[in-house]
Amino acid sequence: MDTIAAPRDPSPMSPASTRAARARAMEFCARFGLRLPILQAPMASASPVALGVAVANGGGMAGLGALQMSPAEIAAWAEGFRAGSNGAFQVNLWAPDPPPIRDAARE
């Protein structure tokens, strides 16, 4: 007698999908030395060193939103972070597109 395979559950919460997501999270943690798959979502002007240190020391990855910071300010943040934690951190930088070329005839 032939057996028929059960249909694959396409739900994002299926056991196979959950296992795959968990495996990716564990791989990410191993790659960056994290205890928890938690990433601080940094925002420009709202990334105090103390928050980054707390996230990293809690097992996640700290983050710095450095949009409005000078290179010296970014270096100072990293130095302050390293004084309080040996955990991982990310730096988010934005490189905006140049302003569009205005065309008065088309406007």
pLDDT at 89: 97
3-state secondary structure of 9: coil
For residues 90 and 62, is the Cβ–Cβ distance under 8 A? Answer: yes
**Threshold 0.75, pTM exceeds:** no
pLDDT at 10: 54
**What are the residue ranges spanned by the domains of the chain?**
34-92
How far, in Å, are 2, 3, 56, 63, 78 from residue 68 at the CA level? 65, 62, 23, 14, 15
pLDDT at 52: 97
Task: Give the burial string for 45-75 (b: 16+ CB within 10 Å, else e).
Answer: eebebebbbebbeeebbbbbbbeebeeeeee
Return per-residue pLDDT of the chain as tens, 107 residues: 455 554 555 566 678 888 899 999 999 999 999 999 999 998 888 899 999 999 999 999 999 999 989 999 999 999 999 999 999 999 998 877 888 888 888 88
